[in-house]
Amino acid sequence: MTRIASLRPEFVEFIPDDLARGVLYVSMQYATAAHSCCCGCGREVVTPLSPTDWKLIFDGRSVSLEPSIGNWSFPCQSHYWIRHNHIRWAPHWSAAQIAAGRGYDAAAKSRYFDSLDQEQTKMDEHDHLAFGKPTPTPTFWQRIRKWWS
Ligand SMILES: [Zn+2]
């Protein structure tokens, strides 16, 4: 399988049944983007565009998607970012590492979120600026929680 190094955006109304390699299909009407997995396995990666899913950035020439694409449910388990039409690959993790990492991260994140909740309570009582970092928006953390649970 040959990895795809870049994607070019194609704005369509309907996402086609057969996705051409190297094309990021974007349907504004249905707030959805889709592409053929960049590892070359050919699986269809559908990324809904919404405040709690993915965000598409089109600068007039190239597209970027946020957050990263983590195809954990595919056999390839590829993980990459789409930045200005280019694919940036995350370091490869074995299945065992992903399982271990997810378990570890879930526990770590749950502790982290608990502490965030506590901080949030403190922040409500005190000056926000004293903590020296921006308050995370609820949708962002809800999404991460959903992602890791
Ligand atoms: Zn793949």
Least Cα distance to 102 among 125, 121, 77 occurs for: 77
18 CA from centroid of ligand 1 (Å):
15
Residue 2 resides in a domain: no
The verdict on 79 and 128 lying in the same domain is: no
Residue 1 resides in a domain: no
51 CA from centroid of ligand 1 (Å):
25
Choose from 53-57, 94-98, 128-132 the range with maximum mean pLDDT. Answer: 53-57
The verdict on 61 and 106 lying in the same domain is: no
76 CA from centroid of ligand 1 (Å):
5
The verdict on 16 and 57 lying in the same domain is: yes
**Which pLDDT score is estimated for 91?**
80
**Which pLDDT score is estimated for 118?**
59
The verdict on 68 and 136 lying in the same domain is: no
Q: Which residue among 43, 67, 89 closes a domain?
A: 89
The verdict on 109 and 136 lying in the same domain is: yes
Of 125 and 54, the one with more pLDDT = 54
124 CA from centroid of ligand 1 (Å):
44
The verdict on 19 and 74 lying in the same domain is: yes
- Residue 33: how many other CB atoms lie within 10 Å: 25
pLDDT in tens, 2-31: 899 999 999 999 999 999 999 999 999 999
The Cα 31–Cα 51 span in angstroms is: 11
Which range, of 41-45, 134-138, 142-146, averages the lowest pLDDT?
Answer: 134-138
| Whether pTM exceeds 0.75 | no
Host domain of residue 37: 8-89
- DSSP letters along 90-115, please? PPP--HHHHHHHHHHHHHHHHHHHHH
37 CA from centroid of ligand 1 (Å):
5
The verdict on 101 and 84 lying in the same domain is: no
The verdict on 102 and 83 lying in the same domain is: no
Residue 123 has pLDDT above 60, yes or no: no
Least Cα distance to 2 among 58, 65, 70, 76 occurs for: 76
16 CA from centroid of ligand 1 (Å):
18
Largest CA distance in the chain: 55
The verdict on 83 and 109 lying in the same domain is: no
**Which pLDDT score is estimated for 127?**
45
72 CA from centroid of ligand 1 (Å):
9
Least Cα distance to 14 among 42, 34, 38, 37 occurs for: 34
**Which pLDDT score is estimated for 37?**
97
